[in-house]
């Protein structure tokens, strides 16, 4: 690995993630909301158009909420709106993409990241880069419960440009609005770095919560981190595959 390659990868990842930071202020728009920032980051990180329905799925927002945020971004000159071909009755569909100026920071950072990844081919790249990245984050307080540890991890994911939400049991985290979506096919190590980053944050929580696995793109642009935690142990487990498909006749496993 070339000297400084790990640091270059870490710096580029941080900068790209910052494009989706909910605390950024957009000229002509004012203080941005996290949801609006994530929508802009999605459009910035893809060189194509998105429909309102696609953005609603990737962001987890209602279509009307997405439409309202997009109207503000269009008014601020950050994205462009085009009208598609009519596909029957009703209004023609609308499509949105980032302006050339809005994509420029992402394109430049993507170039730097590609070059850095090309130079950084060590087997421990993901872990070392994640550790460097974690050091740059605002330290989270030691968690008093496993649930709190998961909440802190979600906050850290927000800080690096993702939308993230834990499940009701807090045994998984759904991660979306990936600022790196166009890069991961060429460089899948980016997903490994994100997984290691989440593991590093959870390890520092003081609780026994670990990443069991990262399911990449369970749906387009949506990933799921499956977590293990010893405090979540079911009283019993019923396996319908082993004992038939009727839950009423299923025999509980030991």
Q: What is the pLDDT of residues 68-111, one digit of tens each?
A: 888 888 877 778 888 887 776 777 889 998 887 666 656 665 66
Does 87 share its domain with 136? Answer: no
Residue 34 sits in the same domain as residue 129: no
Predicted pLDDT of residue 130: 79
| pLDDT at residue 246 in the model | 61
CATH number at residue 45: 1.10.10.10
| Contacts for 94-101: CB closer than 8 Å, 24+ residues apart | 94/51, 94/52, 95/49, 95/50, 95/51, 96/43, 96/49, 96/50, 96/51, 96/52, 96/55, 96/70, 97/43, 97/46, 97/47, 97/48, 97/49, 97/50, 98/40, 98/43, 98/44, 98/46, 101/77
Q: Are 2 and 121 in contact (CB under 8 A)?
A: no
Q: Tell me, yes or no, whether 219 and 166 share the same domain.
A: yes
Q: How much is the pLDDT for 16? A: 63
- Asked whether residue 193 is domain-assigned, the answer is yes
**What is the reported pTM?**
0.61
User: How high is the pLDDT of residue 232?
Assistant: 93
Report residues of the chain scoring pLDDT below 70: 1-8, 10-34, 88, 101-123, 179, 182, 243-254
Residue 47 lies in a domain: yes
The answer on 141 and 58 residing in a single domain is no
Residue 27: per-residue pLDDT? 47
Whether residue 148 lies inside any domain: the answer is yes
Residues 156 and 67 in one domain: no
Examine the domain organization and report whether 48 and 90 are in the same domain.
yes
Domain annotation covers residue 35? yes
Q: Which tens digit of pLDDT belongs to each residue from 210-231? A: 999 999 988 877 899 999 999 9
CATH number of the domain that residue 187 is part of: 3.30.1380.20
Which residues, including other chains, have CB under 8 Å from residue 222's CB and lie 6 or more apart? Answer: 58, 174, 175, 176
* Same domain assignment for residues 143 and 46: no
Distance of alpha carbon 163 from its chain centroid, rounded?
Answer: 5
pLDDT of residue 108: 60
Domain that holds residue 137: 122-228
pLDDT of residue 31: 44
- Do 154 and 206 belong together in one domain? yes
pLDDT given for residue 30 in this prediction: 43
Q: Where are the alpha helices (DSSP H) in 24-175?
A: 34-44, 52-59, 63-75, 100-119, 125-136, 146-159
Residues 128 and 169 in one domain: yes
Is residue 113 situated within a structural domain? no
Residue 26's pLDDT is 45
> Is residue 247 assigned to a domain?
no
Q: How many domains does the chain have?
A: 2
Residues 82 and 132 in one domain: no
Residues 58 and 148 in one domain: no
Q: Is residue 133 part of a domain?
A: yes
Same domain for 128 and 168?
A: yes
**Which of 52, 75, 105 is the C-terminal boundary of a domain?**
105
- The pLDDT of residue 3: 44
Decide if 97 is inside a domain. yes
């Amino acid at each position: 690995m070339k000297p400084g390659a790990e640091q270059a990868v870490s710096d580029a990842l941080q900068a790209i993630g910052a494009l989706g930071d909910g605390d950024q202020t957009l000229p002509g728009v004012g203080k941005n909301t996290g949801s609006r920032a994530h929508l802009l980051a999605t459009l910035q990180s893809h060189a194509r158009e998105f429909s309102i329905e696609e953005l609603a799925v990737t962001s987890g927002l209602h279509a009307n909420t997405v439409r309202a945020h997009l109207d503000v971004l269009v008014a601020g000159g950050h994205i462009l709106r085009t009208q598609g071909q009519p596909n029957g009755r009703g209004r023609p569909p609308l499509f949105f993409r980032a302006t050339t100026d809005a994509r420029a920071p992402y394109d430049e950072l993507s170039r730097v990241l590609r070059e850095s990844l090309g130079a950084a081919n060590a087997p421990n790249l993901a872990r070392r880069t994640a550790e460097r990245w974690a050091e740059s984050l605002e330290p989270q307080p030691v968690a008093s419960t496993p649930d709190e540890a998961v909440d802190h991890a979600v906050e850290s994911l927000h800080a690096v440009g993702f939308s993230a939400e834990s499940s009701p049991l807090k045994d998984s985290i759904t991660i979306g609005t990936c600022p790196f979506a166009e890069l991961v096919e060429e460089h899948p190590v980016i997903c490994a770095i994100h997984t290691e980053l989440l593991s590093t944050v959870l390890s520092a929580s003081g609780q026994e919560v670990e990443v069991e696995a990262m399911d990449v793109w369970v749906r387009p642009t949506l990933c799921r981190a499956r977590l293990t935690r010893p405090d979540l142990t079911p009283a019993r487990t019923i396996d319908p595959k082993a004992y038939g498909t009727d839950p009423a006749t299923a025999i509980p496993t030991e």
